[in-house]
Structure 1
Amino acid sequence: MKSLQSLRIAVRPSASPRLAHQCVRPLSTTMQRFTQARRQQSLPAAYYRGGTSRAIMIRREDLPPDQTQWDPILLGCIGSPDPYGRQLDGMGGGISSLSKVCVVGPSTHPDADVDYTFISLGIKTPHVDLSSNCGNMSAAVGPFAIDSGMIPLSSSESTTTTVRILNTNTNKIIHANFPIIDGEAQADGSFAIDGVAGTASRIELRFIDPAGSRTGHLFPTGNHIDTIDAVPVTCIDAGNPCCFVEASALGVSGVLTPQQIDDHPSLKAQLESIRRQAGVKMGLAGTEDDVPGSVPKIGFVSRPGGGEEGEGEGLVGNGNVVVRAMSVGQPHKAVPVTVALALATAANMEGTVVSTCVVRDGDGQADSGSGSGSGLVIAHASGTLEVDARFDERGDVSFATVFRTARRLMEGRVFWKG
C-alpha cells in the first residue's frame, strides 16, 4: 500500500478557463460565506398550559424595550410562518390554541400586580395579533408570576393567593385565585375541565367589569339583534367582542363536531362573512378587510337536545345552552373563555339570539345543572363550562367568574433563528 506521502491527486485541466474559475472559489469568499452564519438567539421563557390552550410565557424585561422589535422574535419562537401549517420549527402546534405568547411584567396600575399582554400568532402567515385577550391563558398568568418570582409571597406558609392582573389588550382587570405549595403555584388537584385530560388544581378567574373590553359598550351596535346576510346576529362586547348566531338560522345542527364544521362546504365562509361585517358594525375596523382575525369572535348557538338524529355527536353532558365557537377561522375544540363570558352575559339579556336558546328553570333563571341556581352551564364540543355572571341593580355586569386549571410544562430558554 502506498504511503500517504506518495498519494497524488491528478487534476485534469478544464477545457474552459471560465468554468475553472467558477469551480475554484477564493478562500476569502468561502470564509466570508461561513462567517455570516451565527448562533441561534435565545431568551428566558417558560411554557404553560392554561385551560385548553398552551403558550410561551415571557417576562417583559427579557424582551426589547421597543415593542416594534418583538414580532420577528415571537414568530421565530413559535415557528411561523409555516407554509405546511405545522410550526415544526418552533413551539407552536399548528392550531390557533397552540400558537400563542403571553408577556408578563410588573404593573403600574394601582389595582393590579402584573401587566399581561396576550399575543396570537399566525400559523401560515407572519401575522402578529394583539387585538384581544385569551381567557384560557389568563389562567396561567398568576401561576407564572408566582413561579418566576415576579410576585414575592407574603409568607412561605401561604396556602392560597390572589394575583391581580391587568390585561393590556382589553385594559380590564382579572383576579386569579389559586393554591400555593412550597412557594409555587400548586399543580396537583382534583378539579377537571372538559377538553383537558386528568385533574389539576382549581384556579378561579374573576373578570372585573368585563363589558366594553374593546368598544366601550356592552352592545356596540346599540342593538340586541342586528341582521347580517339575512341572519339575526347578536353583537356583544364582554371579555372580548363577540357575535352569536343561531344554528337553525344557518341551516345546520347546533351539535356539529369541529371536523364536521371543517368539512362543511360553505359554513366557515358564511360565518367569516358575518364576523367581518359584524366587526365593522361594532367599530373594530373601518372595512371588512381590516377586521382583525381574532375579534370579533363568532359562535353559533342552539338549545340543548336540539340536534337532529344522525347529526354531530350530540350534546356532551348537561347544559343550559349549546355553542360551537370559531377561533381565527378554525372550529374550536372546546370554547374560548372570553366567548363563554360574552355568551353568559348575552344569555341574561332579553331579546338576544342567545337568550332564546337558553333552557331555564321554573323561576326563569338559567339552571346551572349543579343545584346552585346560579350561573350558566355552556355545552361545547368537548363537554361543558360553567360561567357565573353577576349583574348590579342597573343590569350592568359587575364581574364574571370561571374556573380553569393551568400547569407549568417547562422552563429555560426559547431559541429562534434571526
Structure 2
Amino acid sequence: MASNEFPPQLKIPATYMRGGTSKGVFFNLADLPPAAQVPGEARDQLLLRVIGSPDPYGKHTDGMGGATSSTSKAVIVSQSQQPDHHVDYLFGQVSIDQPLVDWSGNCGNLSAAVGPFAIHAGLIPPECIPHNGVMAVRVWQANIGKTLVVQVPIRNGQVQETGDFELDGVTFPAAEIQVDFMAPGEGAIFPTGQLMDRLEVPGLGMLEATLINAGIPTIFINAHSLGFSGTELQGDINGNADTLALFERIRAAGAVKMGLISSPEQAASRQHTPKVAFVAEPAAYVASSGKTVEQTDIDVLVRALSMGKLHHAMMGTAAVAIAAAACVPGTLVNLAAGGGEKTSVTFGHPSGTLKVGAEARHTEQGWEVEKVTMSRSARILMEGAVRVPFA
C-alpha cells in the first residue's frame, strides 16, 4: 500500500492520572472525535488503540496501558446532564488481550481522580471553587447510575495534589481525597435475598458464598473452603493457571446466581463484573512491600481478583462491597471479621491495609447501605495529548 494511503495519527487532548491504586487515561467528552462522543464501536476501538489492546504479548508496548487490570483504564468526563451534579463520569475497563471495553461497572480508585480532573479541565465554574478548603465535587457515575461525592482539597484556588497521606499500594504520599459512595447498592443489596448462598461450581461442588451488589457486584467466598489462608500475594495465585480457572468458574456461577448473565458462557464477555474475592479471619502476613501486617492491625483478610488475576491491592469498588458486607451481620465477610454490628472495617490486602466506613440499615425491603466512605489520593502524571491511529 502506498504511504499516502495511511492517514496521520489523531491528536486528542488527554490527561494521564493516578487515582488510588489505579491509573488511566482521562478525556473530556468534548475533546473526543465526534464518532467517539457517543457509545458504540467507534468509541471502543479508539480506547482500545489508545491503551494498546488487544496485545497478544501482554505488554501494552504500543499504547498507554500498563498491562494490568489496574492500569488498563479509560475515563470520559463531561458536564453533568443530571440535576445537582457537577460532572458525569464514564469508566471503561479495557481488556489487555481481548478486543473488549467493559462498561458494566465503576472504578472506585479512579473515582478519586474524577474530581481533580473536572477542576483541572475547567468543567466546574470557577466561582464554585473555594480559594482554600475542600471542593465537594458531585459526580454522576454513569456506568451504574450512582452519585459520588469527591472531596477535593484546594489550596490557593488550585487542586492540592501533594501531601503526607499514605495509601498502601501507592509508593509515594499525596494529598488525601475522601470519596463518598452514596447509596452504592441497588435497593436491597443482596440480589438473591440471602446473606449466604450456595453455588454449584463445576469441578468443585457446592460452595458457600455471599453475593452482594454494593459498589460493584461481588462474590465473597471463604478462603479456607478453597484451601487458602487469606494471606496470599499475587505470586501465590497468578502463576497457577488451574487456580485462576477455578476462580473464573466461581465467578461465572455467581454471576448467573446474581442474575447478571443467563449462562456461565456469557461471563467471558463480561470480564469487569462481577468480582470474586476470598476472605479469612485476621492473621499476620508480610505485604508485597515487605511491611509486616500484624493480626491486631486488621479486622479481616480479603483478596480479590480483577480481570482474571489477583489484584495487587484492592479495587475501590470492591472495598465498598467489603465494607457493606462486613457491616451486615451474618455475611461471610462479617463472620470472618468477628461478627456483630459494625460501622467500619479495616481489612488486609496484598499491599497492606485499608479502613472503610459504611452506614447500613435493615428495612422492610432488606438490608440497604446509605453511604460508604474511604480515603484515596490522586494526581496528574502527565497532561497534553495522546496520538492514536484512528480513522
Fold match (TM-score > 0.5) = yes
Q: What's 1:170 paired with?
A: 144
1:335 to 314, 326, 331: 314
Q: What's 1:19 paired with?
A: none
Distance (Å, rounded) in 2 between the aligned partners of 1:266 and 1:123: 20
- Is the counterpart of residue 322 in structure 1 residue 301 in structure 2? yes
Q: Is the 8 A contact 1:255 1:315 kept in 2?
A: no
Distance (Å, rounded) in 2 between the aligned partners of 1:341 and 1:156: 29
Q: Is the 8 A contact 1:304 1:315 kept in 2?
A: no
Q: What's 1:23 paired with?
A: none
* Greater shift in the superposed pair: 234-243 or 184-193: 184-193
1:289 to 260, 265, 272: 265
Deviations 1:171-199 (A, max 9, x none): 00000012112432111111110010121
Q: Where do 4+ consecutive residues of structure 1 move more than 4 Å? A: none
SS at match of 1:49: strand
SS at match of 2:111: helix
Q: Which AA in structure 2 matches 1:382?
A: S
Distance (Å, rounded) in 1 between the aligned partners of 2:169 and 2:116: 20
Deviations 1:331-379 (A, max 9, x none): 100011111111111112222111110046xxx555xxxxxxx521011
Q: What's 2:101 paired with?
A: 128
Distance (Å, rounded) in 2 between the aligned partners of 1:283 and 1:150: 37
Distance (Å, rounded) in 2 between the aligned partners of 1:253 and 1:315: 16
1:92-171 equivalent positions in 2, closer than 5 A: 92-154=65-127, 157-171=131-145
The Cα of 1:263 is off from its aligned counterpart by 2.7
TM-score, normalized by length of structure 2? 0.90
- Is the counterpart of residue 376 in structure 1 residue 353 in structure 2? no
Deviations 1:39-62 (A, max 9, x none): 111211100000000000001112
SS at match of 2:126: coil
Structure 1 gap segments, 5+ residues each: 1-31, 367-373
Q: What's 2:227 paired with?
A: 251
Q: What's 1:204 paired with?
A: 178
Q: Is the 8 A contact 2:230 2:302 kept in 1?
A: yes
- Residue 263 and residue 303 in structure 1: after superposition, are their counterparts in 2 closer, same or farther (change >3 A)? same
- Residue 315 and residue 338 in structure 1: after superposition, are their counterparts in 2 closer, same or farther (change >3 A)? farther
- Is the counterpart of residue 304 in structure 1 residue 282 in structure 2? yes
How many residues of Structure 1 are paired with residues of Structure 2 in the alignment? 370
Distance (Å, rounded) in 1 between the aligned partners of 2:241 and 2:182: 40
Q: Which AA in structure 1 matches 2:293?
A: V
2:246 to 270, 293, 297: 270
Q: Is the 8 A contact 1:254 1:306 kept in 2?
A: no
- Is the counterpart of residue 193 in structure 1 residue 167 in structure 2? yes
The Cα of 1:110 is off from its aligned counterpart by 1.0
Q: Is the 8 A contact 2:188 2:368 kept in 1?
A: no
Distance (Å, rounded) in 1 between the aligned partners of 2:132 and 2:156: 9
Q: Which AA in structure 2 matches 1:282?
A: M
- Residue 325 and residue 393 in structure 1: after superposition, are their counterparts in 2 closer, same or farther (change >3 A)? closer
Structure 2 gap segments, 5+ residues each: none
2:369 to 397, 412, 417: 397
Q: Is the 8 A contact 2:329 2:341 kept in 1?
A: no
- Is the counterpart of residue 237 in structure 1 residue 213 in structure 2? yes
Q: Which AA in structure 2 matches 1:44?
A: P
Larger radius of gyration: 1
Q: Percent identity?
A: 39
| Two-structure CA RMSD over aligned residues (Å) | 1.9
Q: Is the 8 A contact 1:377 1:386 kept in 2?
A: yes
Distance (Å, rounded) in 1 between the aligned partners of 2:21 and 2:387: 24
1:339-418 equivalent positions in 2, closer than 5 A: 339-359=318-338, 364-366=340-342, 374-392=343-361, 394=363, 395-418=367-390
- Is the counterpart of residue 48 in structure 1 residue 30 in structure 2? no
Q: Is the 8 A contact 1:316 1:381 kept in 2?
A: no
- Residue 346 and residue 99 in structure 1: after superposition, are their counterparts in 2 closer, same or farther (change >3 A)? same
